[in-house]
Structure 1
Amino acid sequence: MKRPADIYLRFLQLTEAIRGLPTLPALDPLEEKILEFVARASQNKDRLSVRDMIGHGELGSPATLHGRIASMREKGWLTLSDTEDTRRKQIELTPAALRYFDKLAEALSKAAKGT
């Protein structure tokens, strides 16, 4: 029987391979944190606006956050869509970002199975 640490380390190896695939440009650590934040909100069916994200200080200053969101949009990870209030934009994952999370889930499953 494998130890949980073995499964986790195998998962890390598999995720490195996924990150090496030429699908989307790499993210820096703060962008990865933002991506995970947006993904969790999406999973909970929460509508997330730029203003909502600014309220979370751990994601950086408003200027930093705006810059990272713009960068992530250019890289193809995030998209902004209109809401009822034209001054607010909703942040969403792109189809490519969703496929990335699908690949991570597959890697976790493989690591747990030991394949």
Structure 2
Amino acid sequence: MPLTRPADIYLRFLQLAEAVRGLPALPSLDPLEERILVLVAQANQSKRRLSVRDMIAVRELGSPAMLHNRLKSMREKGWIVLQDTEDARRKQVELTPAAMRHFDKLSHCLVEAVNDV
């Protein structure tokens, strides 16, 4: 049955994206880690450098201790890496190649949902 409304496309995308999340590529993220991942990806997409200090300034991510715990968890899960900068005290947060492949898969889900129209 063809999709006819924009909401149908979005709901189809969610269905396809959920299937991608079920694939054994990277361990799943909790909602706060998902939010952090999106911030890192958006910074990456706009060619901005994003440091741990920059992320601490984003209040909705919680306390510095909580943020550090989440970043550590995301590093251990293989989603992000912390790169050295010219200032040894500052670390830049970047996506791993595996995280980029995850976004590629989600992009394919979006294209497939649109093509189902």
Q: If the length of structure 2 is used for normalisation, what is the TM-score? A: 0.96
Count of paired positions: 115
1:25-48 residue CA offsets vs partner (Å, 9 max, x unmatched):
000000000000000000010001
In the TM superposition, what are the counterparts of 1:41-52 in structure 2 within 5 Å? 41-52=43-54
Distance of 2:4 and 2:116 partners within structure 1: 8
Tell me the equivalent position of 1:106: 108
The answer to which of 1-10 and 38-47 deviates more is: 1-10
Unpaired segments of 5 or more residues in structure 2?
A: none
Query: Given residue 29 of structure 1, which amino acid in structure 2 is its aligned partner?
Result: P
Query: Given residue 11 of structure 2, which amino acid in structure 1 is its aligned partner?
Result: L
Deviating runs (4+, > 4 A) in structure 1?
Answer: none
Query: Given residue 63 of structure 1, which amino acid in structure 2 is its aligned partner?
Result: A
Kindly indicate whether residue 44 of structure 2 is the aligned counterpart of residue 4 of structure 1: no
Q: CA deviation at 1:10?
A: 0.3
RMSD between aligned residues: 1.0
Unpaired segments of 5 or more residues in structure 1?
A: none
Query: Given residue 103 of structure 2, which amino acid in structure 1 is its aligned partner?
Result: F
Query: Given residue 78 of structure 2, which amino acid in structure 1 is its aligned partner?
Result: G
Q: If the length of structure 1 is used for normalisation, what is the TM-score? A: 0.98
Q: 2:77 aligns with which of 72, 75, 78?
A: 75
Q: Percent identity?
A: 69
